Amino acid sequence: MNKTNVTGTDGLPDMKSGDPGTRVNELRRIIEYHNRKYYIEDSPEISDSEYDQLYRELETLEALHPEMADPYSPTQRVGGKPLDEFGKVVHEVQMQSLNDIFDLEELYAFDRRVKETLAEETGAGTGASAGTNAYAGTGKVAGSDAGISGRPDVEYVVERKIDGLSVSLEYENGVYVRGSTRGDGFTGEDVTQNIKTIRSIPLRLFGRGSSLEYMEVRGEVFLPKKDFAALNAAQEEAGQPFFANPRNAAAGSLRQLDPAITARRKLDIFVFNIQQARGANFEKHSETLEFLAEAGFKIIPDYKICLSIDDVVREIREIGDARGKLDYEIDGAVVKVNLLAQRRLLGSTSKTPRWAVAYKYPAERKKTRIKEIMVNVGRTGVLTPNAVFEPVSIAGSTVSKATLHNLDYIRQKDIRAGDMVTVQKAGDIIPEVVESDAAARDGSERIFKMPLNCPECGSAVIREEGEAAYRCTGINCPAQLRRSLEHFVSRDAMNIAGLGDAIISKLLAAGLIKDIADIYLLPERKEELKSLAGMGSKSAENLIRAIEKSKANDLGRLIFGLGIRHVGTKAAQLLASKFRTMDDLMQAGTDDIEDIHEFGHITAESTAAFFRNPQTLEVTGKLKAAGVNMAAAAREVRGNSLAGKTFVLTGTLPSYSRSEAAAIIESFGGSVSGSVSKNTDFVLAGEDAGSKLEKAAKLGLKIIGEDEFKEMTNR
């Protein structure tokens, strides 16, 4: 949080009660207050460090007093376990969509239809309830019949149309109980835990909202522009498909089975409607927005009440002029009848309301000329072509380059260096080349070809079957060095404590390491280590001890640490078990590696090619010379009672980690597979076993627990 520092909490004093229960409740109340000030009202009152201190104190007290656990505590935003799949939620109030319009003529026609219908319906029976569902006419919130007789004057509310994913939030007695996606409008998916990770959503309501027995609201989940751009950059760098627009990104983020992944995506939300509420009474939509803001929701900002359709037009133009300056993406403006009784008279079709429309803005496009197509090498080794063109102003900013993603994209659009092209911003954020103008060519244009060698290090470039990305194969590629180092020292690899990202950055900046093998030369450069900013004598000594200790790691850790494409921790252990020494592995061909159970051709070929690379030979030679272990530990053989038997492990065992259980199985001649199939002999299941256990049951496989496993291995 980038907060200003002020004393006190505006009516919420930072009390320090001696009673833990009282203090926990105080802290929860204070933290929720500051969450609201920061995430919803955009008016922070304390600094980051002060907030963090309060948060850590609450975490500590809750850990010391588990009896005080509360699923709605601020510390439990990411408290759910990964799911196997999402459940279904039937929407009691249909979540309708809007009719889109694309010009002012259609907008004036909408206004005429509204007024003509109200004139015809004036004086008709009105029933007992007024709809407040912004996308349907059947919301369950009480309202009067004011404003539906006489001349049909119409107030409109104009709101920004957020480009995101529509969701429903449900509250009972002021407490958040469920969140779901729109789905088809009638049935959505239960994403309760994922929605809970969004910081701007209140887990407990404020003001009058806290006293309602039940309330359902509708909002739009979105990614802020900067986070959308960062997410796509990470996808591109990893060679993964990029998100086409913020809506696509929000949907993909919210539908992660692991809430922790959703939490890292930095989603946000604007709430714009009360679907239904028990005990609430409103006459206008604008009143419901005021109520929602009071209850603690982050509502659609800067909505405007317009008294005529001409006022609506002016507001739509103002929103359109400002859209490029907003820190979130909008794709239009929503125009709604404000008076709830009038909405009820206007009614809805089976899919859309007759009292609201969405005015959609056209994407701004400009023409420019591509000067050259350059290739960038990302941290994962993916080569990405980029168009560098003559600067052009689009959607409020000047752009001069755009990613061309991959060779297939370039060929599909027939883009050449020197082409006159049409450029726009995808989702008004990321520049993209829409099309090239073949008719404008004069013969000087140049067809792009992907380089055969990496422009950073000269290593061979490969494109694996079934992939769009081209990759550098060099282990010493400067573009990949930081990521290679971070991976090499990580816990599952060489596990070198004290060599985190910050120290790696300092070592690179000082020129002390140029490849992963240089890590093992650092003990000889102790004085230079000590001179690094923030290092000091003690830290340098600790780091040197950790480096020396890592030399004795098993071969499997080293293989994994080398960062071979497609080779994870399990595959690395299988390679170590099969070939026993680094020398033998480096001499192995694709066929030799493919003989390993669970190894496919792509992984085998990737591994063999990795060890044919001259850079790999150089680095492994340096590691060997530095005294790093190059052999697998001697196999522990306890018997052959499990020879020929295949196990699958799932869930958490009380006494063993999965790797320990796998080692025991292999010591008795058995093998461990990562997937359930008809060839599986036993499924060893612990607590929280998921889809593997369900599949095993369907196939009628033998499922055992830890006790039976101990009997089988005499442990």
Choosing from 161, 284, 304, 425, which is the catalytic residue? Answer: 161
Per-residue pLDDT reduced to its tens digit, 142-167: 554 444 444 578 999 999 999 889 99
Query: What b-and-e string marks burial along 1-37, b requiring 16 or more CB atoms within 10 Å of the CB?
Result: bebeeeeebeeeeeeeeeeeeebbebbbebbbbbbbb
Structure tokens at 142: 């009480």
- In the DSSP assignment, the letter for residue 616 is H
Instruction: Give yes or no: 161 in active site.
Output: yes
- CATH for 365-447, options being 2.60.40.2580, 3.40.50.150, 2.40.50.140, 2.60.40.290: 2.40.50.140
Mean pLDDT, range 387-410, rounded to an integer: 87
Strands 682-685 and 646-650: parallel
From 103-117, 128-142, 253-267, 282-296, the region with the lowest mean pLDDT: 128-142
Per-residue pLDDT reduced to its tens digit, 327-344: 898 889 999 999 999 999
Tell me the β-bridge partners of 687. 652
pLDDT of residue 158: 98
Please give the Cα distance from 630 to 623 (Å, whole number).
9
Yes or no: say if 550 and 520 are a contact pair by the CB < 8 Å rule. no
Mean pLDDT, range 560-587, rounded to an integer: 90
Domain 646-712 bears CATH identifier 3.40.50.10190 = yes
The residue written with tokens 């125009």 in the block is: 335
pLDDT of residue 143: 54
C-alpha distances out from residue 89 to 182, 183, 274, Å: 9, 9, 18
Yes or no: say if 472 and 456 are a contact pair by the CB < 8 Å rule. yes
Q: Alpha helix locations (H) across 401-511?
A: 407-413, 481-488, 501-509
The DSSP secondary structure of 355-392, one letter per residue, reads SEEEEEPPPPEEEEEEEEEEEEE-TTSEEEEEEEEEEE
Please give the Cα distance from 194 to 80 (Å, whole number).
8
Per-residue pLDDT reduced to its tens digit, 169-183: 999 999 999 999 998
pLDDT of residue 102: 87
C-alpha distances out from residue 537 to 137, 529, 532, Å: 71, 8, 10
- The class of domain 140-360 in CATH terms is alpha beta
Where does 473-634 sit in CATH, by number?
1.10.150.20
SS3 letters for 443-461?
CCCEECCCCCECCCCCCEE
- What residue ranges of the chain are covered by domains with CATH 2.40.50.140? 365-447
From 296-305, 331-340, 494-503, 687-696, the region with the lowest mean pLDDT: 687-696
Query: Closest Cα partner for 272 from 244, 291, 253?
Result: 291
Query: Closest Cα partner for 165 from 98, 235, 255, 236?
Result: 255
- The class of domain 20-76 in CATH terms is mainly alpha
- What residue ranges of the chain are covered by domains with CATH 3.40.50.10190? 646-712
- What residue ranges of the chain are covered by domains with CATH 1.10.150.20? 473-634
Average pLDDT of every residue of the chain:
85
